[in-house]
Amino acid sequence: MLLVAENGSGEVVGCVHAGPAEHIMETAMQNAPDAEIRAALAGFMFLTKLHGIAVRPDYRGRGVARALLQRVVEAYTRSGRDLLYGQYTATEDLGDFYRKQGFQVPGPGVGG
Ligand SMILES: CC(C)(COP(=O)(O)OP(=O)(O)OC[C@H]1O[C@@H](n2cnc3c(N)ncnc32)[C@H](O)[C@@H]1OP(=O)(O)O)[C@@H](O)C(=O)NCCC(=O)NCCS
């Protein structure tokens, strides 16, 4: 899923990219015992990864990212996916942003 936000002139001012967690499938297929393949299939079917989200600097702080994330959550909840997750580098300090959108944000180095 790739969603964009446009301003009144039709310019793209924000975007979000979310979808299946392909790397889980790829990693398990490379290792290949049956149990890992089953785990990978389950992960592929029921997990959604937030691959990226960005808003044009002059449109930040107006709720654009919140609106984009709400659309992603609505769509994947309807489709029966269990978990939406993502990651960011600890230096970016986006914990409060994601907490405000309802995500649990574990500390650096801590599994979710
Ligand atoms: C992070 C980013 C997507 C936020 O977009 P945005 O449209 O400005 O966010 P919103 O206006 O929807 O903010 C929603 C809430 O989060 C807060 N917030 C936004 N950016 C924040 C930040 N960097 N840190 C803490 N809180 C933040 C807002 O104050 C707002 O709070 P409120 O609900 O109390 O008013 C934007 O700053 C961006 O594109 N950054 C560069 C790319 C990036 O870091 N992407 C994420 C990579 S994982």
57 close to ligand 1 (CB < 6 Angstrom): no
5 close to ligand 1 (CB < 6 Angstrom): no
Distance 94 CA to ligand 1 centre (A): 7
Go through the domains of the chain in sequence order and give each one's CATH number: 2-100 (3.40.630.30)
Instruction: State the Cα–Cα distance between residues 98 and 60, nearest whole angstrom.
Output: 15
Instruction: State the Cα–Cα distance between residues 70 and 49, nearest whole angstrom.
Output: 14
Give the DSSP H or E segment for 43: helix 34-46
Distance 23 CA to ligand 1 centre (A): 26
Q: pLDDT of 12-60, one tens digit each? A: 999 999 987 777 667 766 766 777 777 777 767 778 889 999 999 999 9
pLDDT-derived band at 85 (thresholds 50, 70, 90) equals: confident
Q: pLDDT of 29-38, one tens digit each? A: 676 677 777 7
58 close to ligand 1 (CB < 6 Angstrom): no
